[in-house]
Structure formats: structure tokens, C-alpha cells
Amino acid sequence: MTQRFQGSIVALVTPFRNSTVDEAKLRELVEFHVKNGTDGIVPCGTTGESPTLSHDEHKRVVEIVVETVRGRIPVIAGTGSNSTAEAIDLTRHAERAGASAALVVNPYYNKPTQEGLYRHFRAVAESVAIPILVYNIQGRTAVNVETATMERLARDARNIVGVKEASGSLDQMSQVIAACGPGFIVLSGDDNITLPLMAIGGHGVISVIANIVPRDVAGMTHAALDGDFKRARELHYRLFPLARAAFLETNPIPIKEAMAMAGMLELEYRLPMCPMSDANRAKLRQILGGYGLVK
């Protein structure tokens, strides 16, 4: 079950048109990923601008992605919230919709203790039968799931099967792998450290830049999984400038801008997300040009 969640899993953008979710474009993007070797799709994550989706929109996006995928690759629905009851509702909906798993972010703003984090994730996990991946990102939530807490969750909740680690700390990721064992899925939450994580036992990435270069991100992760680190390094260094450019401003501003430059979607955000500065847009275009994505 858990070994399906490896390789290149895209943190899918949510396309908008005239202030509404562009459902036709969303289906088109899903097909693009299936055809280009992406190993899984995360709708309604950070990159999908989930904080500005209404609950009805959130649920509809998950439904559309599941319907369009038709079981060809896993769909790991973002279902986290700072309210445990709300996270349970979204996770139960994802299960009913047919999602393969749920990605549940740390409760944000209310800053729970480690015991509160443990009880939150366990309550969500126990409300469903599908696998749960913890999304550990202190930079956006103000709290870190400490390794001891992750170990408790892996031991006590049968369907908490892994973590998207966006701490940026290979030291912490090493601790998690050592504590939770090789069967516990550890995925990078940062494209620029995917390969270093995989070199110490990680399983892949939930990727931002796979939105625009899915074949290369999949190629790098598959090479690493196969033990071909020479090929993986080549792709890592090809992807590295793009991975850095994706965070010239707050995600998902740069990746949506890049996709618009490449003709993949109409550029539209929801406030408080807004277009890039002219200076950063010029930097992004130069990097995309170097990659051959724009002229």
C-alpha cells in the first residue's frame, strides 16, 4: 500500500478563471501529469491555494482530480486544517470521493503542543480507512512535529504511513527515517533537497516544479530509486535553478507565473496571493529560458 507513494508526486496548482475554479483546465492538467510520468497528484495543497478555496470548491477539486485520474496514479488529497473536526470532515470526504490517501498539514496558527499534535493526527487517522501522510511544515504553521511525536504516530495509528517533510532539515529527516523505519514513507517537501533526502533513504518528493517539468522530476526520482545516482545528480543540477526560482516569492506565485509564461494556464490568483514583482518576473523568465521552457 505505502510503496505506491514514491517518486514524483505533483503538488498541483488550482487554475482559476474569472474568480472561479477552471474545471476544464484542471482536468487538462491532470491528464498532462498522467501522460508525462508523474507518480501521484496532490490536489488542494499549499500550491493549490487551498486556504482560499471554499469548502465546496475544495471538495469539488478533489472530486474532479479523482474522476479524471480514473485510478491510473494515486491521488493524495490535501485535507488539513487547524480545526480537527474540519480536517476530519475534509478527510472523510476525500475517502468517499475515492482518493488514495490524504495529506494532513500541521494545525496552523493555534500552535498546539506535541501532545495536541499527536491527538489531532491520530483523531484524523482513526476517522478513515485510507492512508494518511503528515505534512510537517513549521515555516507555514508555527509548529514542528518532533521526531518522537512522529514515531508515536507511526506506531499507534496503523494508517499514518508517512510524512511530507518540509522542515528543510536533513538532520531531522535522518532522525525520522531512523526512528520510524524503512517502511515509513518520507517525502521531500522542497524540490531543492529531494535528491539529498533520497540519498539517505527518502522515497521521493511532493513537488512544485513538477507542475511544469514533470518528466525531469520523475526521471530524477526514478533514477535515485533505482540506485543510479549519477543520472539523478545530472537531473538534480539541471532542475536546481528552477527549484530555487519557484521560491523567488511565496509559493505558488512563481510556479503559476512560470506556467502562464509557458502557455499552460491563464494567470490568476486569489488574494492575498498576487502577481510577482517585475524584477522577480524577469529573473524567472531568464531561468525558464535557460531551461528551454520559454523563448
Q: pLDDT tens-digit profile of 100-109?
A: 999 999 999 9
pLDDT on residue 68: 98
Q: Clarify whether 164 is annotated catalytic.
A: yes
pLDDT on residue 2: 43
* Model confidence, pTM: 0.96
Whether residue 4 has pLDDT greater than 90: no
Task: State the catalytic residue, choosing from 108, 109, 111, 135.
Answer: 135
Whether residue 1 has pLDDT greater than 80: no
pLDDT on residue 259: 98
pLDDT on residue 239: 98
Task: State the fold for domain 2-226.
Answer: TIM Barrel (3.20.20)
Q: Phi/psi of residue 98, each to 5°?
A: 105, 15
Interval 254-267 mean pLDDT? 97
Q: Clarify whether 135 is annotated catalytic.
A: yes
Interval 28-47 mean pLDDT? 98
Please provide the average confidence, as pLDDT, over all residues in the chain. 97
pLDDT on residue 276: 97
Whether residue 249 has pLDDT greater than 90: yes
Interval 138-147 mean pLDDT? 96
Interval 165-188 mean pLDDT? 96
Number of neighbouring beta carbons within 10 Å of residue 6: 22
Interval 242-258 mean pLDDT? 98
Task: State the catalytic residue, choosing from 59, 118, 164, 256.
Answer: 164
From residue 147, give the alpha-carbon distance in Å to each of 18, 102, 117, 126. Answer: 44, 20, 12, 21
Interval 174-203 mean pLDDT? 97
Which band of pLDDT confidence, cut at 50, 70 and 90, is reported for residue 295?
confident
pLDDT tens-digit profile of 230-246? Answer: 999 999 999 999 999 99
Show me where the domains of the chain are located: 2-226
Q: Phi/psi of residue 10, each to 5°?
A: -85, 135
% of the chain surpassing 70 pLDDT: 99
% of the chain surpassing 90 pLDDT: 98
